[in-house]
């Protein structure tokens, strides 16, 4: 799937002035709906609406938290990272990436709700297009159809279910 240009200005306005995208997803706001991959009483994992790599997933606590160190005690951090690990393992099972990137992004200026990005780097990506280059929407985003997103989410849910058996 090829990358297409993203309207970064509109995205920045939405991220900085709109509702919290995670809280809106948790509340069921249709304008912030994402394909859910995993959910428990405290966490949510869903496909990135503007992925830069196939099957890119975001994992967040459901309760609004903004700082990984200040807002989570050690137990909550460990539980969140357990979800990140389980979802990342599913991404690896489904996409067989060369490397799986895990990182937390956002800031007080936009996308403040704590969340982790899980992005599998496909094999064969030239080195100069890996790492930060592969993750930056400034280099374009993938445009999967709703049907493709639904199928990807189903495959990831199946991989998660298989791991829990």
pLDDT tens readout for residues 3-21: 999 999 999 999 999 999 9
User: Residue 26: which pLDDT band, with cuts at 50, 70 and 90?
Assistant: very high
pLDDT band with cut points at 50, 70 and 90 for residue 52: very high
| Res. 165: pLDDT tops 80 | no
Higher pLDDT, 74 or 2: 74
151: three-class secondary structure by DSSP: helix
Confidence of residue 103 (pLDDT cuts 50, 70, 90): very high
Boundaries of domain holding 93 = 3-163
Please state the domain count of the chain. Answer: 1
In this prediction, residues 64-79 reach a mean pLDDT of 95
Examine the pLDDT at 93 and tell me if it is beyond 80: yes
Quote the pLDDT of residue 2.
Answer: 85
pLDDT number for residue 164: 82
What percentage of the chain exceeds 70 in pLDDT? Answer: 100
**Residues sharing a CB contact under 8 Å with residue 28, sequence separation 6 or more, in sequence order:** none
Both tokens of 115, joined, read 């969340």
As a whole number of angstroms, the distance between CA 67 and CA 41 comes to 20
Identify the pLDDT of residue 1.
74
Encode burial over 70-102: b for 16+ CB neighbours within 10 A, e otherwise.
Answer: eebeeebbeebbebbebbbebbbebbebeeebe
| pLDDT above 80 (res 114) | yes
Q: What is the CATH number of the domain that holds 152?
A: 3.30.428.10
Whole-angstrom distance, CA of residue 156 vs CA of residue 89: 9
When pLDDT is cut at 50, 70 and 90, the band that residue 98 belongs to is: very high
d(CA 132, CA 68): 21
- Residue 17: left (phi > 0), alpha (psi -120 to 50), or beta? alpha
């Amino acid at each position: 799937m090829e990358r297409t240009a993203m309207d970064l200005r509109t995205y920045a306005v939405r991220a900085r002035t709109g509702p919290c995208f995670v809280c809106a997803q948790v509340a069921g706001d249709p304008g912030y709906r994402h394909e859910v991959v995993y959910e428990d009483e405290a966490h949510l994992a869903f496909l990135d609406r503007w992925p830069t790599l196939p099957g890119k997933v975001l994992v967040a606590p459901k309760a609004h938290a903004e700082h990984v160190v200040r807002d989570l005690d050690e137990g909550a951090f460990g539980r969140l990272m357990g979800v990140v690990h389980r979802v990342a393992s599913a991404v690896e099972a489904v996409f067989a990436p060369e490397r799986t990137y895990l990182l937390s992004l956002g800031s007080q200026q936009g996308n403040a709700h704590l969340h982790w990005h899980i992005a599998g780097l496909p094999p064969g990506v030239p080195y100069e297009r890996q790492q930060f280059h592969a993750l930056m929407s400034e280099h374009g985003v993938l445009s999967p159809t709703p049907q493709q997103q639904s199928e990807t989410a189903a495959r990831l849910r199946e991989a998660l279910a298989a791991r829990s058996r």
